[in-house]
Amino acid sequence: EGSRLWCAAWTSTPQDGSGTPIGPGNFEEIIKGKAMDCEDSFGRMCGSFWIYDLDDLEDDVSDGVAAQVDYDAVDWLYNRDIQITLAGLTEETMYEFIYCFAEDDESNGVASSPNKMTYSTGAVDASK
């Protein structure tokens, strides 16, 4: 199914409002909390646009993709590059903590019950 995407970058380990470092219990909140600093190349805030896949032709039409002509007209499609711009970064600064979060539009095609990306440090081969 189609997905929404959020990305953010930090110079040190990101923390939630309680000072807890990013991890399985808070990564979604921390990453989505930086949504105002993330946009696609059309200037739309991350999380406000969809990256569609072919299953969107088969699900509920309320996602705006009811036929092949609709699918062919969308801005972002699966298995294609998407350009994300992060704002508020300081030039010539190393951002070693770059995270993204995605959720799809399951189970009804309009994201009322999305499947969410799980947290991974990337340390395990299967997560890369």
Q: Which residues contact 88 (CB under 8 A, 6 or more apart)?
A: 37
Residue 12 amino acid letter: S
| 51 vs 37, higher pLDDT | 37
**Cis amide leading into 113 (omega within 30):** no
Distance CA 128, CA 124 (A): 7
Q: Which among 9, 62, 66 has a CA at the least distance from the CA of 34?
A: 9
The pLDDT of residue 127: 46
Digit-coded pLDDT (tens) for 4-43: 899 999 999 999 999 999 999 999 999 999 999 999 999 9
Digit-coded pLDDT (tens) for 73-114: 888 888 888 899 999 999 999 999 999 999 886 655 555 677
Which residue in the block uniquely carries the two structure tokens 């993330």?
38
Residue 111 amino acid letter: A
The predicted model scores a pTM of 0.80
